[in-house]
Structure 1
Amino acid sequence: MIQAMNFNTLKSVDSVVAPSKPVAPTPAESMKEFSSYLSNALDGVAAQEKNVAAMNNKFLLGEVSADQVMIASEQAMLSLQLTTQVRNKVIEAYQEIMRTQI
């Protein structure tokens, strides 16, 4: 069975033969992306801390249960622990780089 082909939708021969190489980001772009990622992560941890404070206030007013407060506080604690471990690994990597002999 022969199917009709629309040749206008095919890619050009150049793109099939020699696909374009992805452009690697510059070190400055990579640093900016990494710093924005870290900034967003730290903002998320701060937001969770604020959420725990709000949940504690709501608990005192009787608006939420103790389970909800405990879950929110555990999530915030785990986020803070993860942030601390990432910081420790970054410091460890920096110290390893500084010990490298040139």
Structure 2
Amino acid sequence: MIQNHLLSAVSPAASMAAAAPAKPAATPAEATESFASFLKQALDGVAAQEQYVHTVNDRFLIGEADVNDVMIAASKAELSLELTSQIRNKVIEAYQEIMRMTV
């Protein structure tokens, strides 16, 4: 599942303490690697949710799971996939907008 760590609640005291140690800025290569690993984790999470839906569905077919479990797992996977496709669409739109810019 994709989790947004940017929206987590942080108290002002905790944010001040976290901001106190000045960490040197990441190089472009480090930032790219970090983003790539974050993106890979997010896509792996979506794939894991899809696999979990198949597992719960198989358990339902043999009578070990409730229909509610199947529906919840399917809904979560569907929402994750929809979010992923919307993010992809926005990235493509941003790329196309950058390509239209004149220098």
Which TM-score tier does this pair reach, normalised by the shorter chain? 0.7 to 0.9
Matched, 1:90 2:91: yes
- The letter for the 2-side match of 1:41 is A
CA distance in 1, matches of 2:39, 2:96: 20
1:65, CA displacement in angstroms? 0.3
Count of aligned pairs: 84
Q: RMSD of the TM alignment (CA)? A: 1.4
For 1:77-100, what per-residue CA distance to the aligned partner results, in whole angstroms no more than 9, with x for missing partners? Answer: 000001001111111111111111
Give the structure 2 partner of residue 15 of structure 1: none
With CA pairs under 8 Å and 6+ residues apart, which has the higher RCO, 1 or 2?
Answer: 2
Matched, 1:35 2:36: yes
Structure 2 gap ranges (5+):
1-19
Secondary structure of the equivalent of 2:96? Answer: helix
Matched, 1:69 2:70: yes
Structure 1 pair 20/49, CA: closer, same or farther in 2 (3 Å)? closer
Structure 1 gap ranges (5+):
1-18
1:21, CA displacement in angstroms? 4.7
Give the structure 1 partner of residue 100 of structure 2: 99
Greater C-alpha Rg: 1
- The letter for the 2-side match of 1:85 is Q
Structure 1 segments (4+ residues) deviating >4 Å: none
